[in-house]
Structure 1
Amino acid sequence: MDPFMGMCATTGIAACCLGGLTLHSWLGLVPSAVAAAATGASPSDVAALLPVPARRRIRAARILVIDEISMLDATLLDAIDGLCRFVRSTLTSPMGGLTVLFCGDFVQLAPVAGQGVFKGSFSFRAVVWKALFGKRAVVLATAHRHGGDPSYLGLLRRLRCAELTEADVLALQSRVVDGVAPVDAVSLYATVEEARRHNQHRLGALGKRTITYVAENFGGRLSSDAARVVLDSLTPAPDSLVLCLNAAVLAVSNAYFHRHGVCSGWRGTVVGFQASGGAQGEAEELPMVEFKLPSGVLRRIVVSRTNFMAATVTGDAAGHSSSHSSSYNPVRRQLPLVLGWALTIHKAQGMTLELAYVTLSCVFTFSMVCQLAARDEQT
């Protein structure tokens, strides 16, 4: 990772897709620092609670990129502004003189109202926003995910503004199905428990021999339990993955994109298993997964374990250490797959799904509707 660039996102899944860190991790916002900021503490008081490596990162950086900016609270952004000014000893420049690039869609997931002064207000309401950008903003108008379907793209744009036409409503109603989700669809749920139950039901219904892949977690200076909690929240890789023949899976990284054209969110089917040496030298049966590419080509890949890194708020940026044991940063070595029958709407962030099924009764905000409608090519 470039030490002069903070490549961040407001969620762990988005950060993993970028190959970066969560904003809290990069800044070193330990719970005590967040709590202090929530009570309106001064930048110097908040800075005193940051780990030393985090303060070094802030001072050394030249550029700060924040993806999924819609989920950043305005008051927190102002607190970060004050923190950066103090740590970088540049009190008169917004964000302490950092060049910033904020990316996101304010019609999608909104900030979550938190403790103290964090009220869930959009970041463009922050005092520092005008100082940073004024009226300067670049609107990216070209949609790549839905570029091949101009009618659906138009519907999405009108949905964003709550300006659906009668034809749009009829088009959406034409996609309503009764009862069971289509076999090839990924079901999207609002809660983790709903998605877990759906996946377990579909896996059990296959009635085949299962293989369990337990992640290898390297906690660095964290305890094993603490590392597991961090890795569960900051990476898409599961701590335990159970597969069998004909199981539906989703790729959760771009590890096979450049060589095979399979990117995060692609759905495949386990068509076999192949023996391979495990990480500790023992034999391990790796799944052979068949993916259907957009071109229609079927691609079979023997999927092996890969590293998912998550910087903690107490350590250096991911990838700076040469060994797992000495690093502050937890690392999870696991297959880059999850069961592919169901996901939560939040876990689908950053993915392009070929076909999705949504139970709208579980959706509780308008922004979630926009988020899920933009995830897939067919809903």
Structure 2
Amino acid sequence: MASLATRFVNSTAQHIFLTGKAGTGKTTFLRSLGGLTHKRHLIVAPTGIAALNAKGVTIHSQFLLPFGAFIPERTLPDDIADYGRFHDRDTLNRRHPLNALRRSVLAALDLLIIDEVSMLRADLLDAIDHRLRNVKREYHVPFGGVQLLFIGDLFQLPPVIKDEEWSVLRRWYDAPHFFASLALKQAGYVHIELDKIFRQRDERFIGILNNLRNNTVTEQDVAELNRHYRPNKEGDGRDGVITLTTHNHTADALNQQAMDRLKGKAYRYEARVVGDFPESMYPVQSELELKVGAQVMFVRNDADKAYFNGKLARVTEVDKEDVTVEMVEEGTSYKLKREVWENKRYMLDPVTKEQEEEVLGTFEQYPIKLAWAITVHKSQGLTFDRAVI
């Protein structure tokens, strides 16, 4: 199915929604597509962390969109007077115009790839549509004729929308999700689903997960899950147990308590931040505190496959310069290397007219975080052997 999606991208101008459960290869497809398509493309995502993971930029940054709700009209209706929270086409043009750099990049664009599309709001997609029609001067063609590739899983994180925003937006939209966009309804799209799960090989467990996902759990499923239930299992990190919480402050408190229980000297490792890299985009803590025995989790995939996003490890050696961990599952030792994340923007070479990337700033830190506890949201797409919920 991934090869089919590639053919659709390269051979048609149709918009595509590529979806699939966790572990079916959506991220792998995204990372390989750049070398498989001749089309000039951008990768964007709704949030800073999602954009970093996709090696792209945020939607708001690329399209210079203000925060708040977008009303798909030329001007706001008379009963909506709050220009701070609601924007229309005219306010985008007059108060938030595109600069020359972004305009040139969008003018040359063939393909727009939007990752983590479950979080994309319908009104935000219509704001993108307005920008592209203006830049391309194709005012009557959805998205100005640019092909869109949506990647994500609608069973994952939904769009964030305030009640007061939705009470207004529901006049134009029947749902807050991207597929309710007026421009996308006009244009239509092809739906491609990746259905082979590579992350799990246990067919019975895959079946249970699918039933949980679809809210069709059977008595047999519950009985099978209960066979693996272990009461009074404390998530103290002694055996790779991880606690899933609903709030960041709870996870932070549990991690700090576990750290305080460890004996030995604590070492602190400062991130190296160069240039423009907003704090809101930091993928891990700028100051990482570690002791021998600390349970940690990797937050990105290693090019050499030594670790992956969500893999658990235990710190075995620390000093001022180096950190060594032992992988919880295999028991293998690994000396950590600092990883570099880039905050970048797209630009167009004025001579060659080729699309280029400009790195605005970098963030360098060990790709781990304390992991006796994490939030349910941050566990999305990850796999754990033992968990406390």
**TM superposition score normalised by structure 2:** 0.74
Aligned counterpart, 1:207: 263
CA contact (8 A) 1:287 1:303 kept: yes
CA RMSD of aligned residues (A): 3.0
CA contact (8 A) 2:339 2:367 kept: yes
Q: Which runs of 4+ in 1 moved over 4 A?
A: 32-38, 117-120
Q: Any gaps of 5 or more consecutive residues in structure 1?
A: 221-226, 275-283, 322-326, 359-379
In 2, Cα distance between equivalents of 1:38 and 1:128: 22
Amino acid at match of 1:337: I
Q: How does 1:283-322 map to 2 (within 5 A)?
A: 284-292=320-328, 296=330, 298-311=331-344, 320-321=357-358
Residues 205, 178 of structure 1: CA spacing in aligned structure 2 closer, same or farther, 3 A cutoff?
Answer: same
In 1, Cα distance between equivalents of 2:116 and 2:131: 21
Residues 178, 43 of structure 1: CA spacing in aligned structure 2 closer, same or farther, 3 A cutoff?
Answer: farther
- Structure 1 residue 288, shift from structure 2 partner: 0.9
- The 3-state SS of whatever aligns with 1:259 is coil
- Structure 1 residue 355, shift from structure 2 partner: 3.4
Q: How many residues align?
A: 324
Aligned counterpart, 2:199: 145
Aligned counterpart, 2:143: 95
In 2, Cα distance between equivalents of 1:85 and 1:140: 31
Cα deviation, 1:164-189, whole Å, max 9, x if unaligned, reads 11112223344444342373122222
Aligned counterpart, 1:370: none
- The 3-state SS of whatever aligns with 1:108 is coil
- Structure 1 residue 102, shift from structure 2 partner: 0.6
Q: How does 1:261-340 map to 2 (within 5 A)?
A: 261-273=306-318, 284-292=320-328, 296=330, 298-311=331-344, 320-321=357-358, 329-340=360-371
Aligned counterpart, 1:20: 56
Aligned counterpart, 1:236: 283
**1:86 aligned to which of 134, 144, 159:** 134
Residues 338, 17 of structure 1: CA spacing in aligned structure 2 closer, same or farther, 3 A cutoff?
Answer: same
**2:253 aligned to which of 193, 197, 205:** 197
CA contact (8 A) 2:246 2:376 kept: yes
- Structure 1 residue 338, shift from structure 2 partner: 0.6
In 2, Cα distance between equivalents of 1:96 and 1:47: 20
Cα deviation, 1:144-201, whole Å, max 9, x if unaligned, reads 222x111121122222221111112223344444342373122222211011011111
**1:49 aligned to which of 83, 92, 96:** 96
Amino acid at match of 2:110: R
Cα deviation, 1:198-245, whole Å, max 9, x if unaligned, reads 11111111122100112222243xxxxxx5xx33x3242211110011
- The 3-state SS of whatever aligns with 2:154 is coil
- Structure 1 residue 36, shift from structure 2 partner: 6.0
CA contact (8 A) 2:156 2:380 kept: no
- Structure 1 residue 43, shift from structure 2 partner: 5.9
Aligned counterpart, 1:184: 240
- The 3-state SS of whatever aligns with 2:273 is strand
In 2, Cα distance between equivalents of 1:43 and 1:349: 38
Residues 18, 188 of structure 1: CA spacing in aligned structure 2 closer, same or farther, 3 A cutoff?
Answer: same
CA contact (8 A) 1:217 1:331 kept: yes
What is the aligned-residue identity percentage?
Answer: 28
Residues 247, 181 of structure 1: CA spacing in aligned structure 2 closer, same or farther, 3 A cutoff?
Answer: closer
CA contact (8 A) 2:296 2:313 kept: yes
Q: Any gaps of 5 or more consecutive residues in structure 2?
A: 1-30, 71-81, 349-355
Aligned counterpart, 2:220: 167
**TM superposition score normalised by structure 1:** 0.75
- Structure 1 residue 46, shift from structure 2 partner: 4.3
